[in-house]
């Protein structure tokens, strides 16, 4: 079995589900003829036709609004937004319609819709192409927010998202689209939503992260192991709804926690995780929770982007401070 990248795993999952469910429809800007700006939908239009892979105008509100209508009529649309920074015109459709439809109709209608968007920094693109604003959507009741961190998880979680009967925002960290390759069996096996993945077991400190930051965090954990510090690494994966139980079980075991995220610090998903640990697991802690994050600024263009992004050194410094706390 050949190894594939994360973006290829997304393509593989879409192709599998389209081949096995005629109700799956893809729509978005340039998703058809060009295969998407990152080629996540490459060749899908030629395989399934223009009626199932639709190129749309540059109008995010229309893309999501159309997808909501499709979802109410028995289809399972997968709408692509070219970059997360372009998603805001569709806020109304996502918040006021997709996420509320089941409740508004008292269960008579549901909205099996997936909205895919490349997100995050690290590719030295203009500011609207480097957003990490997942917390805005995690705040919305009725909406799932899923962020894969590897080809295997991208494949399995996207299948699960398409099969789910409620709307899912599926954020793909574009910095790692082609960073890592894995063997991904194309058997249509979904991974569970709403559950964290424990990527590395440890007894000394819990490192909680998601998306592209999993890679820097795992490198730090491997370096710590050489020094006799065993870190447990948790990939949150579904940030809404949050699997706080897995995180609390780890913190109860280790007594220390560092949360690593690319997003700005204030009012972030990392802040929510820290709050829930404090509410439900305060007495487990031997040291204050540390957060390593982006800064409360717009992503700086080009030269300062690497400074904005959490580095292995910043993660290691937070771990060191936590471990040395008396």
Which residue, among 192, 126, 125, has the nearest Cα to 163 in the 3D structure? 192
Q: Which of 110, 124, 129, 215 is catalytic?
A: 129
Q: Please indicate whether residue 129 is annotated as part of the active site.
A: yes
Tell me the C-alpha distance between 72 and 324, whole Å: 55
| Dihedral pair phi/psi, residue 53, rounded to 5° | -130, 100
Q: Does residue 294 contact residue 261 with C-beta atoms inside 8 Å?
A: yes
Q: How many CA atoms lie within 13 A of 312 on its CB side?
A: 9
Q: Does residue 68 contact residue 105 with C-beta atoms inside 8 Å?
A: no
Judging by DSSP bridges, how do beta strands 168-173 and 182-183 pair with one another?
Answer: unpaired
Q: Does residue 130 contact residue 120 with C-beta atoms inside 8 Å?
A: yes
Which residue, among 115, 120, 214, has the nearest Cα to 174 in the 3D structure? 120
Q: Does residue 194 contact residue 241 with C-beta atoms inside 8 Å?
A: yes
Phi-psi region of 103 (alpha: psi -120 to 50; beta: other; left: phi over 0): alpha
Which residue, among 188, 309, 164, has the nearest Cα to 241 in the 3D structure? 164
Phi-psi region of 43 (alpha: psi -120 to 50; beta: other; left: phi over 0): left
Tell me the C-alpha distance between 245 and 167, whole Å: 23
Q: Which residues are catalytic?
A: 129
């Amino acid at each position: 079995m050949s190894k594939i990248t994360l973006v290829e795993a997304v393509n593989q999952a879409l192709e599998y589900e389209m081949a096995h469910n005629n109700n799956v429809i893809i729509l978005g800007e340039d998703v058809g003829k060009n295969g998407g700006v990152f080629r996540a939908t490459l060749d899908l239009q030629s395989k399934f036709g223009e009626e199932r892979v639709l190129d749309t105008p540059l109008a995010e509100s229309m893309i999501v609004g159309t997808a909501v209508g499709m979802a109410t009529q028995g289809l399972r649309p997968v709408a692509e937004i070219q970059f997360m920074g372009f998603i805001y015109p569709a806020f109304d459709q996502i918040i006021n319609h997709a996420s509320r439809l089941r409740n508004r109709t008292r269960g008579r209608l549901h909205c099996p819709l997936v909205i895919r968007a490349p997100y995050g920094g690290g590719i030295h693109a203009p500011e609207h192409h480097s957003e990490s604003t997942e917390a805005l959507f995690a705040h919305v009741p009725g909406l799932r927010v899923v962020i894969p961190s590897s080809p295997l998880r991208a494949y399995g979680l996207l299948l699960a998202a398409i099969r789910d009967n409620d709307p899912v925002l599926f954020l793909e960290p574009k910095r790692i689209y082609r960073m890592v390759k894995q063997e991904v069996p194309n058997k249509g096996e979904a991974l569970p939503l709403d559950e964290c993945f424990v990527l590395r077991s440890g007894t000394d400190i819990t490192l909680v992260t998601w998306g592209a930051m999993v890679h820097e965090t795992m490198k730090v954990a491997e370096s710590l192991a050489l020094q006799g510090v065993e870190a447990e690494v948790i990939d949150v994966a579904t940030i809404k709804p949050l699997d706080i139980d897995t995180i609390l079980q780890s913190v109860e075991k280790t007594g220390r926690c560092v949360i690593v995220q690319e997003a700005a610090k204030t009012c972030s998903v990392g802040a929510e995780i820290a709050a829930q640990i404090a509410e439900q697991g305060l007495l487990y802690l031997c040291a204050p929770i540390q957060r390593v994050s982006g800064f409360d600024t717009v992503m700086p263009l080009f030269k300062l982007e690497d400074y904005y992004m959490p580095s292995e050194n910043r993660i290691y410094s937070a771990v060191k401070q936590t471990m040395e706390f008396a």
